[in-house]
Amino acid sequence: MINFNYETNFKLHSEKQISKWITDTIASEEYKLEEINYVFCDDDYLHKLNVEFLNHDTLTDIISFDYSIGKIIQGDIFISIERVEDNAKDFGVSFEKELQRVIIHGVLHYCGYKDKSDEDAKVMRDKENHYLANLA
């Protein structure tokens, strides 16, 4: 099950389509979806989580808390709509495309992909691009 929660003045236009896309991505990676809770929020909300739980005093676009066990996906994904808007401008892409990238980025972390090293980040970006193409 995928739940979408809103702590800011924002709402996804196509929850059903996005849910199917996420579910299909997880199945394609040979994992099973238990539950993901997406929380769309603002910078202040996400910054507080970043400081309180991760001891990072920085702004970020996404924080994911992974409760998965083995190949069973469970977690909470918090996304700052303000960061996504700014990043979309910085990267020269639409807000919607950047939001989709961030949404699937969190899922790919749950599927075992990392992005700390340059090599891992490239693999993550390739996977993001692959699944973004599947959404079209």
Binding region: 105, 109, 115
- Within 13 Å of residue 126, how many CA atoms lie on the same side as its CB? 8
**pTM of the shown model:** 0.90
Both tokens assigned to 87:
């990043």
| φ and ψ of 31, to 5 deg | -115, 170
Which residues are annotated as part of the binding site for Zn(2+)? 105, 109, 115
Residues spanned by the domain of 101: 2-135
Instruction: Name the domain count of the chain.
Output: 1
CB atoms within 10 A of CB 8: 17
Query: Is residue 136 pLDDT above 80, yes or no?
Result: no
Q: What is the mean pLDDT of residues 48-52?
A: 86
Cβ count within 10 A of residue 39: 19
| Average pLDDT value for residue range 42-53 | 89
82-106 pLDDT, tens digit per residue, is 999 999 999 999 999 999 999 999 9
Position 13 scores a pLDDT of 87
Reported as half-sphere exposure (CB side, CA atoms, 13 A), residue 10 has a value of 20
CATH at 25: 3.40.390.30
Tens digit of each residue's pLDDT (9 = 90 or more) over 11-35: 998 999 999 999 999 999 999 999 9
pLDDT at 84: 96
What are the strands, taking DSSP E only, across the chain?
2-6, 32-41, 62-66, 72-80
